[in-house]
């Protein structure tokens, strides 16, 4: 149940960009949620904007009061404390609306998809091009955070989408980034 929240606000830093700091914060949170085995803690970005495309300077954690306290007691913020301002665990305002905050993945590089298919299936360039036309490539217009895969070391963009507001909370689980396909978090 997402009855409480914590706001983590990025502080301006002359050495690091907001993009870099947000990426580091989300990466640390991801590792903490994996280690904590937390599928009951969600996130949102209260300053989320599509135009301009922007996640904002605030990462909001949502969950049960005791679970948020347990997460914060784990020391996962080490190295970030000078770069952020934390609120205490606070109760969600009554009457808050709710939203689904989810990850979206896109087929963004048709050449890479063709090379992968050619390796897997032993196809020629012409066969790969015929199987994967240029039209499958999509240019996402959602805000994102830059991350690096812990397993492959490859950089990637974690695109964040949010569905329209609803009055009632929808229970469910969250992935290791604090995002969900169906569970809502309070939106205020």
Two tokens at 150? 């812990």
Residue 78 makes CB contacts below 8 A (sequence gap 6+) with: none
The tokens of 8 are what? 């983590």
Question: Which one of the listed residues 4, 20, 30, 62 is annotated catalytic?
Answer: 30
> Under a CB-based contact definition with an 8 Å cutoff, are residues 169 and 64 in contact?
no
CA angle 177, 102, 114 (to 5 degrees): 90
Known catalytic residue: 146? Answer: no
φ/ψ of residue 98, rounded to 5: -135, 155
Q: Phi/psi of residue 152, each to 5°?
A: -105, -20
Question: 3-class SS at 146?
Answer: strand
Active site members? 30
């Amino acid at each position: 149940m997402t009855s409480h929240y914590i706001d983590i606000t990025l502080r301006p830093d002359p050495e690091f960009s907001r993009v870099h700091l947000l990426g580091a914060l989300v990466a640390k949170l991801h590792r903490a949620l994996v280690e904590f085995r937390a599928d009951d803690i969600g996130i949102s970005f209260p300053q989320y904007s599509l135009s301009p495309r922007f996640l904002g300077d605030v990462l909001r954690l949502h969950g049960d009061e005791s679970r948020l306290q347990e997460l914060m007691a784990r020391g996962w913020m080490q190295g970030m404390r000078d770069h952020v301002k934390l609120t205490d665990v606070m109760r969600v305002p009554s009457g808050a609306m709710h939203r689904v905050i989810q990850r979206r993945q896109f087929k963004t590089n048709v050449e890479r998809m063709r090379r992968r298919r050619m390796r897997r299936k032993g196809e020629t360039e012409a066969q790969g091009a015929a199987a994967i036309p240029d039209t499958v490539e999509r240019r996402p217009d959602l805000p994102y955070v830059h991350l690096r895969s812990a397993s492959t070391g490859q950089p990637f963009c974690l695109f964040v989408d949010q569905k329209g507001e609803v009055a009632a909370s929808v229970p469910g689980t969250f992935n290791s980034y604090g995002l969900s396909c169906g569970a809502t978090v309070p939106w205020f």
